[in-house]
A = this chain, B = another copy of it.
Amino acid sequence: MSGGDGVLRKARPGFRWSDVDLLAYKDEGSAPFKSVSRQTLFGGEGLEGELRYFEIEPSGHSTLERHEHRHAVVILRGRGQCLVGDEILAVAPHDLLAIPSWTWHQFRANAGETLGFLCLVNRNRDKPQLPGEADLTSLRADPAIAAFLDEA
């Protein structure tokens, strides 16, 4: 029941935490992404939700993907954009994003700032689906989405 038992994990500079590992976002080569890290803040026995902190360096982006499970996102640092379905949404600190089931989504740190956010998911969830050629063609039919996906 002491802090040392993991009850309290202090914030450290740079959006790191004591006793929380900085992990790769995904296995290299498993899906397209750029400059993203992952820290699991809460999860495991007794909690049906899992709370992760993702950070995207300037010009980086998460994987364009969709899945059945929902994302509940709280932006913690920086500005950027998120594609959700057919909309490109500008996000800033403390904004809330609810990503519905089976909706294509991608975060981009495209405002010259590091973009960091909490993401709540169900502990038991399905694996993400990557877009096929037909999906990409359909998304790219919107010039704004094509430009978003092509940003460096």
- The 0/1 profile, CB within 8 Å of B marked 1, for residues 2-27 of chain A is 11001111110001010010000000
B41 x A7 contact (CB < 8 A) = no
Give the CA-CA distance A15 to B96 in the complex, in Å. 12
B120 x A42 contact (CB < 8 A) = yes
Which residues of chain B have C-beta atoms less than 8 A from A124's C-beta? 48
Interface stretch among A57-65, A82-90, A138-146? A82-90
Interface: A49 (CB within 8 A): yes
Which residues of chain B have C-beta atoms less than 8 A from A74's C-beta? 41, 51, 118
Interface: A91 (CB within 8 A): yes
B3 x A87 contact (CB < 8 A) = yes
A91 to B, closest residue via Cβ = B8
B95 x A9 contact (CB < 8 A) = yes
Interface: A72 (CB within 8 A): yes
Min Cβ gap A6→B in Å is 6
- The 0/1 profile, CB within 8 Å of B marked 1, for residues 64-75 of chain A is 000001101011
A96 x B41 contact (CB < 8 A) = yes
Give the CA-CA distance A7 to B86 in the complex, in Å. 12
Min Cβ gap A80→B in Å is 13
Give the CA-CA distance A15 to B46 in the complex, in Å. 29
Give the CA-CA distance A41 to B119 in the complex, in Å. 12
Contacting A85 at CB < 8 Å: which of B1, B10, B11? B1
Which residue, A6, A10, A95, A96, has most C-beta atoms of chain B within 10 A? A96
